[in-house]
Every structure is written in C-alpha cells, then in structure tokens.
Amino acid sequence: MKKFTKWQGCGNDFVLFDCLHEDIEDYAELARKVCDRHYGVGADGILVVLPSAEADFRMRIFNTDGSEAEMCGNGIRCFARYLYDFGLTKETRFTVETGAGILVPEIVLDGGTVKGIKVDMGEPHLLGEEIPVIGFDGQQVVAQPIMVEGRTYQFTAVSMGNPHCVIFVDDAENFPIYELGSKFESHELFPRKTNTEFVEVKDRQHVRMRVWERGAAVTLACGTGSCATVVAGILNDKLDRAGETEVELDGGRLRIHWADNNHVFMTGPAELVFSGELADLEA
C-alpha cells in the first residue's frame, strides 16, 4: 500500500507521493497508471517529494504519458502546500530543487489561514538555444513565423525552465486547440517539444489563456505557461510590466509579475482534493 494525496491548482490536478523515506521503483510507469482517469486516480501528472542535498526539498514531476517535466508552476504550489499542511516544514518560505533549478515558494497567510502560494519562478530564458528553438541561437525569439497545418502564426518562445511557445490569437475560446495543439508541441522547431499557450489579450494587465501541455495535452491551467505568457506579452508590447497581470485560465486565475530584478513571481491557489492509498503499485 502506498499513500498519496490528490491536489489541484486552478484545475491542474496532481497525485502526490511522499518519497522522503520510501522510494518508488518506476515513476514513469506509475504516472501512466495513476493518471489514467478511467482506471487510475486521474490526474495531469504525479508529484514526488524527495530529499535534496541542495535545497530544503526536491520535487520531480511526471506527465500522464510517463515523461518527466523540468518544472510545473501549478505543481510546485501544490507541492509547497503539502509540505506546509502536512507538517514537513513549519517555515512559510523554503527552497525546492527542481529540474529548472532551485525555486522559492512562499505560503501566503491571512490570520493563520492559507490564502494562496506565491512562488519566485526565477528568471525567464529568452535566447533560442536556452529554450531551445532551432535556428535562433544568440537571439530572442519574438513574433517569429511558424507554419502549422498550412497556416502561418506568430510565436514568441520563452523558457521558465521548460519550453513555451506563445501564440497571440483573437479568440482564445474558439481557437481549435484540440486539433492543432499537438502540431505545435511536436513542431520541428522545438527539439525537446514545447508547451503551447493560445492567448487573447483583454487589456494591458489581463489575458485569457488556454494551454496545450507537452506530454499532457489540454489542461485546465499551466503555471509556467502563465509566466511565459506574461513575459511574451511584455516583449511584444501587449502588456504592461508594472504591477501584476491576471491570467484567466480554463480552471481559474493566476497573478503574474515580471519584477525589476528579472524574476517572475506567480501567485495562485493550491487545494487538497482527497487522500488515499494505492492497493498495488505493481498492478
């Protein structure tokens, strides 16, 4: 029997396993089984709590297809709240080692009640080789053409430790994300594939964003994608850098700020859905 907790952040849901003292042999296979919404618990991915030699804790995340992601913005908020709510730390600010480096979540309290999680997501990576995007070494990838299914779109590429392709559209609600999302994900420009955000600008501090996540398809929210969206909006002079930008997702809202120190800060919810036990990890 292996205990787990189920979490969601703006509808982006995860099954979390605490492996500080007892590890799991095959995370990828576990993710494929557990994330299945018909035969498993059902989730967009699994989160794994591990010890770290470099930070207070280490987080690994695996998508529904078993692939490992470098980072997940909604995931790290859920991860942080688990650590705090279940007594693994009494600190409201701590460090987490991820595939995208060491990040710093902060528990936002109001009268002793958790009101949300704020995460210093670090600096965005903007050069083509950092994201990566083929053919753009040494330069930013802003408003560049990309051909998908016979149509040319303008994309801006940003890495928040994982790759993002941001497409500004007139109508995010009706964009054919289910038909075209996988075409962007596996486009030849992206050697490690990419997450893709389809973004409608409502005003200079408010966007509507839908996302196709690499390895997970359409999800209700993406934290790193929200960060990438705001950075891309500022680079394209569609959004203001001063203050927070509200990102409206299928599953809720996040507040993003690209600060003067070049770090991107994300604030949003993380909620426990339920706890349980897996009867047989080998089944």
| Rounded CA Rg of the chain | 18
Which residues lie closer than 8 Å to 212 by C-beta, 6 or more apart? 177, 181, 182, 184, 185, 195, 196, 198, 218
- Tokens for 281, please give them: 């990890």
Q: Prior bond to 132 cis, omega within 30? A: yes
Is residue 273 helix, strand or coil?
Answer: strand
* 35 flagged as catalytic: no
Cα–Cα distance between 215 and 224 in angstroms, integer? 14
Of the residues 35, 78, 222, 227, only one is catalytic, namely 222
**In the numeric block, which tokens belong to residue 220?**
């209700």
Q: What is the DSSP letter of 31?
A: H
Which residue, among 39, 52, 50, has the nearest Cα to 61 in the 3D structure?
A: 50
Identified catalytic residue from 35, 72, 78, 165: 72
Contact 65, 216 (CB under 8 A): yes
| Side-chain half-sphere CA neighbours of 249 within 13 A | 30
Q: Cα 148 from chain centroid?
A: 24
CA–CA separation, 204 and 200 (whole Å): 11
What is the spatial distance between Cα 14 and Cα 229, in angstroms, rounded to a whole number? 22
222 catalytic residue (yes or no): yes
Catalytic residue set: 72, 222
